[in-house]
Structure 1
């Protein structure tokens, strides 16, 4: 089996165990046992638990950073496009987001809470300008945090319906008089 195949199997198994048992309650030995490999073989691919968690989270962080940077690079982003794109990002990564949110200690240890808060501040400035009021900042926290929550709260909802409902609610929270495109 190729090195990358084993690494992907480890990531898949770690996600499953982290989601069911929690990150802190899942040992690397347990992951190795589930895969039928030795713990040293697991360490060949990931030097530590933190390295394994970072490998799961990095694609999510990279995707989020790329999305926000693309929006910031444009002169005039329509708020609806920004909101729909942010929903799509969260929907794509909802499984890993849910796993991470159940482990706030792990999030804090990896510095991910600061990343998410920085993203929200950047999105707020994209919608409201460089110096949003406290009310605008509060609206943005409700809208962007709520969008994230909706992708996890309603995992069985048809994605098109969930997208429409979530984007409409986010627009309302932001005080925007735009609705989702049909």
Structure 2
């Protein structure tokens, strides 16, 4: 469990990363916003990348757990669960969209394509046509996009429409 100071650093860093991008946020800005010295910040995080990694890691662990523990089943239920996962991590997804360099952290670019392939297999099986793969990519990408684009709305207003649209993209 992170210390209060570590959690506060992550909270302020997340806010600044979201508003001005990871690359445009310095550790000095974070420490000044918190009213602590840079050495105090360095005590908890050795670099900006280390701090970004600590913010992104929970999402990585959740997605990895999701794709490895799910079994094929009802595609609509899986789409709904995936939407909820994306919704929980919409701030991190937004950080990655606004500052693509964040994808370099923890080799996220490669991992995201792997997760998507595994999710597509869970949704539709492994013997798919090119069209089915494309539709599944649109469905999953659309769910993630809705969690970011409509984050200002209540989840229970966004989820049904997003899941239905993803199901339609899959031809369900």
Deviation at 1:97, TM superposition (A): 1.1
CA-based RMSD: 1.3
SS in 1 for 2:36: coil
Deviation at 1:88, TM superposition (A): 0.5
Q: TM-score, normalised by structure 2?
A: 0.94
SS in 2 for 1:111: helix
Q: TM-score, normalised by structure 1?
A: 0.89
1:118 and 2:117 aligned:
no
Post-superposition CA distance 1:47-72 (Å, at most 9, x none)? 1111100000001111111111111x
Residues in 2 aligned to 1:159 and 1:124: alpha-carbon distance in whole angstroms: 23
Residues in 1 aligned to 2:110 and 2:130: alpha-carbon distance in whole angstroms: 19
1:129 and 2:117 aligned:
no
Deviation at 1:108, TM superposition (A): 3.2
Post-superposition CA distance 1:159-178 (Å, at most 9, x none)? 112110000000000111xx
| Higher RCO, 1 vs 2 (CA within 8 Å, ≥6 residues apart) | 2
Deviation at 1:34, TM superposition (A): 1.0
Could you list the runs of 5+ residues in structure 2 that have no partner in the other structure?
none
Residues in 1 aligned to 2:151 and 2:50: alpha-carbon distance in whole angstroms: 28
Aligned length, in residue pairs: 171
